[in-house]
Amino acid sequence: MNSVSPSAVQYVGIVMQEEQVESRRQPPLLERQSSFGLRASQIPDASREAADEPDEIDKLKAKLMSAWNSVKYGWTVKSKTSFNKISPVTVLGHTYLLNSEDEVDRFRQAFVSRVWLTYRREFPQLEGSTFTTDCGWGCMLRSGQMLLAQGLVVHLMPRDWTWPDAQQLTDVDFEVFRPRSPVRAGGVPIPSFGSPRGSSTPEKSQTSTPAPRCSLKKRPESARDRQADPIHHKLIAWFGDQPPTPFGVHQLVDIGKGSGKKAGDWYGPSVVAHILQKAVDKSSVVQNLVVYVAQDCTVYKEDVVHLCDLSLSQSPRDPCNQAWKSVIILVPVRLGGESLNPSYIECVKNILKLDCCIGIIGGKPKHSLYFIGFQDEQLLYLDPHLCQPVTDFSQPNFSLESFHCSAPKKMPFSRMDPSCTIGFYAKNKKDFESLCSAVSMALSSSKEKYPIFTFVEGRSQDYGLEGHCSNHSGPATHILPPGKLSRSNNRRNSDDFVFL
């Protein structure tokens, strides 16, 4: 059972996928075979009828499970997260020192503006299943959606865009503390800025003055941000829980079938990275953007160039032959064995400090989160474990409130699952070159002999990976590029793959 997290949701524990999925009448062996792609024509006639028409027990279980998940993931826990006043808070390349109302408001705007995608219920039934909710099993897909959404925000929105309506959201649940010492985060609370309604608890109002109303002074770029509202609505709608939407759960689950996954299964961060790549490739709604997924903890620069540089596929006389597609780079990694290797913590911090970083999907074991920053030894995250009703995107100017979180939460680095996927974004060729340089410098801060991942020249074929399966979801491995192998020529081939 998962531990309780002081988020907008009380976690009771993830539902075992076997309890949700394996409730059909056909024999277990047939169920397993069909989940790996056995066609209907291969199913015996006696079983085909049962496979095509879910019985009433399945439907009843689905309704009961939906009701149970609504309770499990729907309780609100009113608890505030404490932030250190004297230590900087990093959010996707931006740093905030929460020692003034203006700085707290800047942090609040930046956090609330991130796209928040959570469990939903009562959406159209997922094909091939009885599920009308992803509660209990879809948290990694939701984290992946948030990672992609951040990439789309920086791709489509004005630079440093913030949501103009962020101040109209409910109270932001966090407090700023003045620590007793630089190394201890606990201390005496100071007035909490950024909460327009003040404290609702009498005991707290005695120890801290009512929080002042957020400054309503317009920022210079607020008019520009308001003009981006139609793009904001369109972007959110792309993640809607309807079969036609390009990045919704229905589409991602359908793509996941190619990896042997189905609704109700657990999706790892590596599998989700490949699903996101295929979803963007398949979609036509986003122009001038590609997704590259690193192979075996190695980013091959020429492979990225081949994806992005349109001049390689155009005539030299083409006036547009200098065009370059923007790219989202996803790097599945494993930062230790059964638990996070502490030697990589400083490296992860330095990655989250970069402007080109769009976040990390991972979390705790079997409990996915989307990491967007940190303070001291605590990771800052967005949590998908809240069950909300499905949104009707056919309504003009549908409400965006449920897609933005007002409760920043933290967890210790030590609780981070070592399996994760790191995301980066480069708008053009110059940005990609800067990304390679900046990320390589951040990776060099690791105390370990081998970095989390590497950038190498050339293409993957140059390193003997022609037959590498893109759907591989096992433990991530690190390949030593040519020239960095051991001096000994008698090493076994398997020794060239180093598990982090």
Catalytic site includes residue 468: no
Q: Which helix (H) or strand (E) holds 361?
A: strand 357-364
- For residues 233 and 328, what is the distance between their CA atoms, to the nearest angstrom? 21
Report the alpha-carbon distance of residue 208 to residue 200 in Å, rounded.
12
**Backbone phi, then psi, for 433, in 5-degree steps?**
-65, -40
Residue 2 neighbours by CB under 8 Å, 6+ apart: 11, 12, 13, 14, 364, 366, 367
* C-alpha separations of 168 from 41, 196, 288, 401 in Å: 55, 9, 33, 9
Contact predicate 282/289, CB 8 Å:
no
Q: Residue 310 has which token pair? A: 């349109």
C-beta of residue 158 within 8 angstroms of C-beta of residue 228: yes
- Measured in degrees and rounded to the nearest 5, phi and psi for residue 332 equal -70, 130
Active-site choice (385, 404, 417, 478): 385
Given the residues 135, 139, 357, 420, select the one marked as catalytic: 139
Rg, Å, the chain Cα set: 24
Rounded Cα distance between 455 and 437, Å, is: 9
Nearest one of 24, 144, 165, 6 to 75, comparing CA atoms: 6
- Among residues 105, 225, 303, 383, the one annotated as catalytic is 383
Instruction: At 298, list the tokens.
Output: 């190695």
Q: Is 303 part of the annotated catalytic residue set?
A: no
Q: Return d(Cα 37, Cα 22) in angstroms, integer.
A: 16
Based on the residue annotation, tell me whether 356 is a catalytic residue of this protein.
no
Output the CA torsion sign for 251, 254, 258, 261: positive
Using N-to-C axis directions, what is the helix angle for 269-282 and 249-256, rounded to 10°?
Answer: 110
Active site residues: 139, 383, 385
